[in-house]
Amino acid sequence: MPSEHPATPGEPSIVSLDSMKNDMQPVDIGTFRAIMGSLPTGVCVVSAIDKEDEPRGLTCNAVCSVSQEPPLVLVCVDLLKESLHALRDSGGFVVNVLREDRSRVSQLFASPSASKFDGVFWEASEVLKLPMLTTDALAYAECRIVADLQVGDHAMLVGMIVGGEPPLGGRPLMYWRRGYSNWPEAAIPNGMGRPTNSA
Ligand SMILES: Cc1cc2nc3c(=O)[nH]c(=O)nc-3n(C[C@H](O)[C@H](O)[C@H](O)COP(=O)(O)O)c2cc1C
């Protein structure tokens, strides 16, 4: 059972929204999706290991930088998704930022299949030994879960970055209004975004 604040380790805290709902009616889900779909994002695969030691993961664009000192990121995962169990059981996760032209990988990890990792090259990360998408990721972050909040129908997992690789070159896959695209050439800062051999 999730607990109210303060969180006990390994148990999510519930953020109560009841008082807010009494104040004002939220917009419907279609309006929510249309508004949030207007925000262009990168695309990540968030990965971990389940209790049977199998790699699990899902495509996520609800990924956000939270703090520099200490370095924290958050990911928001639907409470009904299978991968959430693996993230919680691992006590951590890897955020894999997908390279351009990896819409196939994004679609693969946006499916509920249990064997998604059969379709990609992956290896264990250095610090947490969690699955990372070596050739499909532009950068990756190994995160240890430091906060687990149940907010509405999603879990907001805050992770402290304990390992990872900054971008080695290459460009990101983008997502906007339910469609994929690549980062425009004109928007690449000097010296960044040069394709690498591994891309
Ligand atoms: C571009 C894109 C972004 C997504 N972002 C999220 C997200 O941030 N959080 C989430 O819970 N699901 C997100 N999804 C949906 C999940 O990837 C999808 O439900 C997946 O099947 C979950 O995998 P699982 O059932 O193996 O856990 C996204 C899907 C796409 C295509």
Own/partner contacts of 105-113, CB < 8 Å, gap of 24 or more, are 105/45, 105/133, 105/136, 106/43, 106/45, 106/59, 106/173, 106/175, 106/180, 107/59, 109/45, 109/57, 109/58, 109/59, 110/58, 110/59, 112/81, 112/82
What are the sequence ranges of the domains in the chain?
42-168
Over residues 138-180, the pLDDT tens digits come to 999 999 999 999 999 999 999 999 999 887 788 999 999 999 9
What's the confidence (pLDDT) of residue 169? Answer: 84
Instruction: Find the 189 Cα to ligand 1 centroid distance in Å.
Output: 30
* Phi (first) and psi of residue 120, to 5 degrees: -140, 165
- Superfamily name and number for 42-168: Electron Transport, Fmn-binding Protein; Chain A (2.30.110.10)
Ligand 1 pocket, residue 155 CB under 6 Å: no
> Residue ranges of the chain with pLDDT lower than 50?
1, 3-7, 197-199
Token couple for 111? 């499916």
User: How far away, in angstroms, is 101 Cα from ligand 1 center?
Assistant: 18
Q: Please report the pLDDT score of residue 1 as a whole number.
A: 47
Q: Which residues pair with 172 in a beta bridge?
A: 99
In a mutational test of the pocket of ligand 1, which residue from 36, 44, 54, 59 has the highest number of ligand atoms less than 8 Å from its CB?
59
Is ligand 1 within 6 A of the CB of residue 77?
A: yes
pTM: 0.91
Evaluate: CB of 82 within 6 angstroms of ligand 1.
Answer: yes
The distance between the two most distant Cα atoms of the chain, rounded to a whole number of Å, is 55
**Token pair in block for residue 143:** 């995160």
What pLDDT, on the 0 to 100 scale, is given for residue 3? Answer: 47
* pLDDT number for residue 191: 62
Exposure on the CB side of residue 80, measured as CA atoms within 13 A: 3
pLDDT for the residue numbered 198:
42
Instruction: Identify the pLDDT of residue 104.
Output: 98
> Contact at 8 Å (CB) between 144 and 88?
no
